[in-house]
Amino acid sequence: MAILRILEFPDPRLRTRARPVARVDDRIRRLADDLLETMYAAPGIGLAATQVDVHERVIAVDVSEERNQPLIFVNPEITPLGEERQEYQEGCLSVPGFFETVSRPARIRVRALDREGRPFELEADGLLAVCIQHEVDHLEGRLFVDYLSALKRQRIRAKLEKQRQRA
Ligand code: QAP
Ligand code: CO
C-alpha cells in the first residue's frame, strides 16, 4: 500500500473525466487500497482516483465515527431518490482549508462494483449521500467549489495559489 500525492485546486488535471473500469483486477484493488490508505492518512472521509491523478472510475469513502467502515465503489452510478435536498458544509482534500455550504439531493441510490467486481446497490442519506455525490463529481472533473459563486471560487483559488507560493 502507498500514500499517494493529492492534486490541489486549481490543478487542471482535477478537470479530467475518468474512464470506466473495464475489469476489476489486482491493479484496481491496489488502487482501491492506496485510495483508502491516503484518505485515512489525510485524514478525510472520501477520496476519488482523480484526486491522485488516476483517471479511472474508483472512489473510497468512510464516514463512520470509528473509521472502520471502508467503502469502495467502482464505476458508481447515482440516482437521486425524490426531490428533497440537503445542505452540508463541504470540504475537499484538494481544496485544503476551505469549507462551504453546498445543496444536493438528500437521498440517493448508488449502483457500483465492489473490489471483487461484483455489482452491488446501496441507498444513502445524510453525510454518506453527500460524500458519495461529492466523490462521483470528482470522476466527472467537478469540484464542490463549482457550486459556489464565481467570486467565492476565485477568492479560494487566489488564497491557495498565494499559500503555495509561500510553501
Ligand atoms: C468530501 O472531503 C466531503 O480542507 C471528503 O483542511 C467533505 O474528506 C464530503 C479535509 C465534507 C462531505 C462533507 C479537508 C481535511 C477533508 C480540508 C474530505 C482539511 C482537512 C476533506
Ligand atoms: Co473532494
pLDDT tens, residue by residue, 107-120: 999 999 999 999 99
- From the CB of 131, is ligand 1 less than 6 Å away? yes
Confidence band of 132 (pLDDT split at 50, 70, 90): very high
Q: Is 135 a catalytic residue?
A: yes
The helix/strand count (H/E) of the chain reads as: 3, 7
| pLDDT tens digits, one per residue of 77-105 | 999 999 999 999 999 999 999 999 999 99
Residue 42 has pLDDT above 90, yes or no: yes
Q: How much is the average pLDDT of 153-157?
A: 98
Q: What is the pLDDT of residue 167?
A: 83
Angle at 156 between CA 150 and CA 161, to 5 degrees: 120
- From the CB of 134, is ligand 1 less than 6 Å away? yes
Q: Is 126 left (phi over 0), alpha (psi -120 to 50) or beta?
A: left
Q: What is the pLDDT of residue 10?
A: 97
Q: What is the pLDDT of residue 9?
A: 98
| pLDDT tens digits, one per residue of 61-75 | 999 999 999 999 999
- Cα 44 to ligand 2 centre (Å): 9
Residue 122 has pLDDT above 90, yes or no: yes
- From the CB of 60, is ligand 1 less than 6 Å away? no
| CA of 130, nearest ligand number | 1
Q: Out of 56, 83, 135, 140, which one is annotated catalytic?
A: 135
Q: How much is the average pLDDT of 15-33?
A: 98
The pLDDT mean for the chain works out to 98
Across the beta sheet with 119-124, the strand order is 46-48, 58-61, 71-80, 108-113, 119-124
Q: What is the pLDDT of residue 85?
A: 98
Quick count: other Cβ atoms within 10 Å of Cβ 142?
Answer: 17
Cα-atom radius of gyration of the chain, to the nearest Å?
A: 15
Q: What is the pLDDT of residue 36?
A: 98
